[in-house]
Each structure stands twice: as structure tokens, then as C-alpha cells.
Amino acid sequence: MLAKELKIKAHYHSDNLLQKIKNALEKTSKDMDRLELKDLAPVDQLHTGGAVSSIELFKKAGFSPDERVLDAGCGIGGSSRLLAKDFHCRVTGLDLSDAFIECAVFLTKCTGLEERALFQEGSVTALPFDDHSFDAVLCQHILMNIEDKAKAVKEFYRVLKPGGKLVLHEITQGPGRDMGYPVPWASKASLSFLESWKALAGIIEQAGFKNHFISDESMKAAIWWEKVRKASVTHTPRLDTLGPGIVFGKKAAFFGQNMAANFKNNAICLVEALFKKEQDA
């Protein structure tokens, strides 16, 4: 594993994460063998917009039953489980963090989706899959942690079947300044590898992908993070209940404030997009 990847992995590390999640679930008096996706949403839908934004994106992207999807940078598997249950896809989740993968496997079994959602540890810059293995790659809030984006995108292209799609839900660099940290993907600037949308789209198209739609969701994202900011003023994220505090610790208390300010200052943007690998590739 590269040195930068080790630092990224350390940023997301939480000691005994699975046990912390189990303890928090036990407090909710839920049946651990029959969990619903909504029971896990506070801790497994931590990206901008939560589960609602994911479902809207998946509908736009046209995910179909039994499509084989790679959830690149899957975290603890929230989006993978949504794709498996609501869209009946067959999903493989990949993440650098062994702790995240351990949680993803456990929580997927608790929701009865282990036949449709599998998980393994690995890097998107060296995908452990054969050529033409997937119908789609989901890339959701991950590229900001990838320094060599060209290498990752080439790997996405390699493992996609001809006609396969690359679905993006990504934070990009905006025209503004005064970027505030910590943010969910980085505690400091040296861990953040944001690119402008123009630069990122250029990297993707240079790899051979063709764009099918782009949507700037920055305004919607700014509203969502402002709501998170207001909620965090009165309810500081706790470290022992389901939520970002379990994963990110005390840093989570600053996310709402910093992300709301970063969107307001146009330091960051949020873009959704669909690219496709041509049929004759």
C-alpha cells in the first residue's frame, strides 16, 4: 500500500469500530438478525445528501436488476446495500479500510443481503478484478482521497464491460478559497486531493469514457450541509450512538460547520455524472 493510501486509511480508522456499532445498535433495541436499511442510515449514509441523494442518483443512472456493480470506496457498505435491496443489483464493495470491510460484511448479513453484496479490502488504483468484470462502477465521494486519479479511472475503465457505466457523486474543487478543515474526507489539506470538475472530467474522458450527463448539485448540497450545521449546534455528534461520531470521533463535531462554510464560500462543489465505456471498446 502506498504511503498516501496508508495516511488516508489512518484518517478513516476507528479502534474497535465494529464493536462500537454493535453496542450502539443494542441500545436501539433492534433485532440484530433482522435489521432494516433505515436502521443503519445514521452511520452508513454519511455522504452529502444521505440515502435520499443516493437513491435519486441511482434512478438517474438507470441501475437494472442483476447488474454487477463495483462500489469503489464503499465504506461500511451503505450504498452497496441500497443497490442490492432497492435496485436488485449484485454488488462488490471495495475499500482500503479493513475495519470498514469488517463492518460492511457484518451489517450486510444483519440485513439479509449477503447473497447480493460482497466486500473486500483493496485499492482503486490496483483493482483486484479481471477485465470486463462489471456492468457499472459507482464512485461516490472517493476521488477527493485519490491522488493519482488517472490511474484509478484507467482501472475503472479496465474492469468495466463494453457499454458499462461510471456513475459519479463527487466533491470537486470550487473557484472559491478559504477551505476549512476538518472535513469528512480529510483532517488537513495534505490528505485532500480535490480537482476542479473541468480537470476531473478531462481525466475521465482521456481514459476513453464518453459523458452522458452532468448535474451540478452544489446548491442542494449547500442546503443539506447547512441543515447539518444547525443540527450540530444543538446536538453535538456523540461517540456512542449511530452517527458520524462513531466513525470519525471528535472531528465529526466540526463537519457541519466546515462543510456548510466551504459550500457557501464556493471552495467546493458537488457534481453528479454518468460516463460510459463505448460498446466497441
Per-residue pLDDT of 180-199, as tens digits, reads 999 999 999 999 999 999 99
Joined together, the cell numbers standing for residue 191 give 490528505
Please state the pTM of the whole predicted model: 0.95
Per-residue pLDDT, 10:
86
- The mean pLDDT of 155-176, rounded to a whole number, is 97
Share of the chain above pLDDT 90, in %: 83
Residue pointed to by grid coordinates 488504483: 125
From the list 76, 58, 74, 53, the residue with the least C-alpha distance to 243 is: 76
pLDDT confidence band for 13 (50 / 70 / 90): confident
- The mean pLDDT of 221-238, rounded to a whole number, is 89
What's the CA gap between 85 and 108, in Å, rounded? 10
Per-residue pLDDT of 248-278, as tens digits, reads 999 999 999 999 999 999 999 999 999 999 8
What structural domains does the chain harbor? 3-277 (3.40.50.150)
Per-residue pLDDT, 107:
96
Per-residue pLDDT, 233:
84
- Does residue 225 have a pLDDT over 70? yes
What's the CA gap between 72 and 244, in Å, rounded? 20
Share of the chain above pLDDT 70, in %: 99
Give the 3-state secondary structure of residue 209: strand
What's the CA gap between 27 and 23, in Å, rounded? 7
Q: Per 3-state DSSP, what percentage of the chain is helix, strand, and coil (rounded to 5)?
A: 45, 20, 35
Are 181 and 188 in contact by the 8 Å Cβ rule? The answer is: yes
- The mean pLDDT of 14-18, rounded to a whole number, is 90
Per-residue pLDDT, 178:
87
Per-residue pLDDT, 279:
80
Give the 3-state secondary structure of residue 267: coil
